[in-house]
Chain A
């Protein structure tokens, strides 16, 4: 009975379309219109500028801790571009560009980081879950949504995100497994930025790539250049098409590097090498994408100026709107804390609400209830 070889019939592809020198592989170039390309660039840049501006707001004490997304724009932008409105988008928390594309506003984001639940309320008509902080836990929701699509016979797909750190979580395994077993139309987009706060990739896994894990679950896996928005789009697009056709889930690993701090409360100088960061910073997605667009004649100085002005206005308006909104009763009144836990407030909770109202000297207000759909952002 000699030892034999079991051949596992799967390979991991690596995909790069637009490299860091902004050279494009014409054969692989995805079919995106000039409009779409410009839209992608605008939203990626908006996410970038917002990120920078949010950092200042945090330093000024106007918003709280938040995770920066600079350098990660290509991943959620490319992935969300592959979705239709009827598909579902289940983010982790570094997907600002993608969320803006899906219909979330900067006001939502600002309110969330300023400590208001309203920022987590999905915009009307958008099939999204809000940002999820407990690592990998939302992957199961995405799997469940995918399973439900199958049960109902809906030909939609779900895109969800995870970091490299998330691959260590049990929920990640369970989500991959459930999705694979039930052939759920889910695309798991891994934002492999090689750092989970201060813990490097080598402490998260003993294997070489995240993508190869897909083999064990019986789903396709692919690694793409995470700073190449075209490659991300192409890979996710392919995966989404397969999912809709009943081909089940895919794992798309997007390799990048976290060139900013984990959150505003973090200082990467403690654990990252300056040179490595600089090296990766040169490869960040916007530089090459801008050059690509200029080469294609989509972008020039004048267009850039227009985009810059548009972004500046959007951000400025969003901040002003946040300042305005947090003063409204809807956001400022602590009594509304109680009103959304259950569909109907149970008596014991009403009592506690009354207790707080009494403490605040707002006894009269206690019986009032917020309208059930209190989405903060306007669209």
Chain B
């Protein structure tokens, strides 16, 4: 059992996966000698060498497209896109091919690969370095989408993603890389994809979030309990696709109220999907409309104003109160 931050935990998972499965290869920009711009691939190049840890040319479609080929050939590529804001350069490869090979060939060919990318804002970065576009991938049939919220689940989910027989988008909330440390067990943990976690049991309202927004959510929950005497139920989605709506619905059926918190733009977002599915399933149990606390439908502002865009505890708290008093 060792205490580590999320960057280290992801690094640990990569190291462990490469060590136990020779098919696992890592490729991307600056992932080798430089060990990644966030140092997530630390020590990999030194340990596993040039063949399995590849610094690639600066080309996102090339990174993802060749990963598809490698996966079809029998490797388990884990490619890194340096920032999620650049993965659109490779989107056509994911949408047109990674997500479709199994379907197109009726199960004969498959693409077991992982695309990792640091996503989200909050680190005072340049434009194009703070986006949260998990909704885009969630909207793409054939992909799986995973977003951890802390060191321990980051490691366990990455193991699951690498072992998964289908392409997985693994978004790393970069604001969390070094925000806090957690005990991570020595033995390898694998957290199945498609399972949400009830982080706190509670009453009267359910807060649903994932990734970096879990921080604001937990903080708001504390304030809500302290100031209003309401202890909310809190769910960390962890997997965006497949979405564990069973867990979410079970909770909301119990509490009757829900607030969904995420950093992405609201339109056609994961938050919208959760809200919509709650309507489909637990409509008759709702005491108030499902609220979405999200980024706005503008590009995330340059960093001087990003804090107004990214949901914070106060914004979550306000939504909770309005939902509770509806």
Judge whether B102 and A144 touch: CB under 8 Å: no
Judge whether B65 and A152 touch: CB under 8 Å: no
Q: Is A314 an interface residue (CB 8 A)?
A: no
Q: Is A122 an interface residue (CB 8 A)?
A: yes
Judge whether B104 and A130 touch: CB under 8 Å: yes
**Residue on A nearest B56 in the bound complex, by CB:** A178
Cα–Cα, bound, A134→B67 (Å) = 17
Selected contact of B70 from candidates A88, A120, A151, A343, CB within 8 Å? A151
Judge whether B54 and A374 touch: CB under 8 Å: no
Judge whether B109 and A151 touch: CB under 8 Å: no
Judge whether B166 and A342 touch: CB under 8 Å: yes
Stretch at the interface among B92-100, B122-130, B176-184, B218-226: B92-100
Selected contact of B25 from candidates A121, A151, A170, A349, CB within 8 Å? A151
Q: In whole Å, how far is A103's beta carbon from the nearest beta carbon of chain B? A: 13
Q: Mark B15-58, 1 if CB is under 8 A from A, else 0.
A: 00000000001000000000000000000000000011010110
* Most A Cβ at <10 Å: residue of B73, B93, B109, B141: B73
Q: Is A69 an interface residue (CB 8 A)?
A: no
**Residue on A nearest B273 in the bound complex, by CB:** A348
Q: Which residues between 123 and 160 of chain A lie within 8 Å of chain B, taking CB atoms?
A: 129-130, 134, 137-152
Q: Is A296 an interface residue (CB 8 A)?
A: no
Chain B residues with CB under 8 Å of A120's CB are: 104-106
Q: Is A340 an interface residue (CB 8 A)?
A: yes
Given A129-B109, A341-B141, the answer on whether A148 and B57 have CB atoms closer than 8 Å is no
Given A171-B65, A347-B246, the answer on whether A118 and B106 have CB atoms closer than 8 Å is yes
Judge whether A374 and B242 touch: CB under 8 Å: no
Given A151-B51, A178-B62, A343-B165, the answer on whether A141 and B105 have CB atoms closer than 8 Å is no
Q: Is B72 an interface residue (CB 8 A)?
A: yes
Selected contact of B68 from candidates A141, A177, A374, CB within 8 Å? A141
Q: Is B66 an interface residue (CB 8 A)?
A: yes
Chain B residues with CB under 8 Å of A346's CB are: 194, 241-242
Count, A-B residue pairs, CB within 8 A: 151
Chain B residues with CB under 8 Å of A150's CB are: 51
Chain A residues with CB under 8 Å of B62's CB are: 140, 143, 171, 174-175, 177-178
Chain A residues with CB under 8 Å of B107's CB are: 121, 339-340, 370, 372-374
Cα–Cα, bound, A282→B230 (Å) = 85
Chain B residues with CB under 8 Å of A28's CB are: none
Cα–Cα, bound, A187→B224 (Å) = 64
Q: Is B282 an interface residue (CB 8 A)?
A: no
Given A174-B61, A346-B242, A347-B242, the answer on whether A152 and B69 have CB atoms closer than 8 Å is no
Judge whether A122 and B108 touch: CB under 8 Å: yes
Q: Is B118 an interface residue (CB 8 A)?
A: no
Chain B residues with CB under 8 Å of A280's CB are: none
Q: In whole Å, how far is B102's beta carbon from the nearest beta carbon of chain A? A: 5
Q: Mark B220-255, 1 if CB is under 8 A from A, else 0.
A: 000000000000000000000111011000000000
Given A141-B97, A182-B54, A373-B108, the answer on whether A340 and B69 have CB atoms closer than 8 Å is no
Q: Is A205 an interface residue (CB 8 A)?
A: no
Given A150-B51, A170-B61, the answer on whether A145 and B104 have CB atoms closer than 8 Å is no
Judge whether B65 and A341 touch: CB under 8 Å: no
Cα–Cα, bound, A56→B93 (Å) = 34
Q: Is B59 an interface residue (CB 8 A)?
A: yes
Cα–Cα, bound, A38→B104 (Å) = 33
Chain B residues with CB under 8 Å of A342's CB are: 102, 142, 144, 165-166
Q: In whole Å, how far is A211's beta carbon from the nearest beta carbon of chain B? A: 22
Selected contact of B93 from candidates A130, A140, A149, CB within 8 Å? A140
Chain B residues with CB under 8 Å of A121's CB are: 105-108
Chain A residues with CB under 8 Å of B103's CB are: 117, 340-341
Q: Is B175 an interface residue (CB 8 A)?
A: no
Q: In whole Å, how far is A181's beta carbon from the nearest beta carbon of chain B? A: 6
**Residue on A nearest B89 in the bound complex, by CB:** A170
Q: Is A375 an interface residue (CB 8 A)?
A: yes
**Residue on B nearest A338 in the bound complex, by CB:** B103
Selected contact of B105 from candidates A130, A181, A182, CB within 8 Å? A130
Q: In whole Å, how far is B230's beta carbon from the nearest beta carbon of chain A? A: 31
Selected contact of A117 from candidates B73, B104, B243, CB within 8 Å? B104
Judge whether A148 and B74 touch: CB under 8 Å: yes
Q: Is B110 an interface residue (CB 8 A)?
A: yes
Closest 6 CB pairs of A and B: A144-B69, A140-B65, A144-B66, A174-B62, A346-B242, A148-B73
Report 20 cross-chain contacts, Cβ distance below 8 Å, ordered by A residue.
A120-B104, A120-B106, A122-B108, A122-B109, A134-B97, A140-B68, A143-B65, A145-B73, A148-B70, A152-B73, A170-B61, A178-B56, A178-B62, A342-B144, A342-B165, A342-B166, A347-B194, A347-B246, A373-B108, A374-B106
Apart from A122-B109, A144-B65, list 12 A-B contacts with CB within 8 A: A137-B65, A144-B71, A144-B77, A171-B65, A174-B59, A178-B56, A178-B57, A178-B62, A181-B57, A342-B102, A343-B166, A375-B108
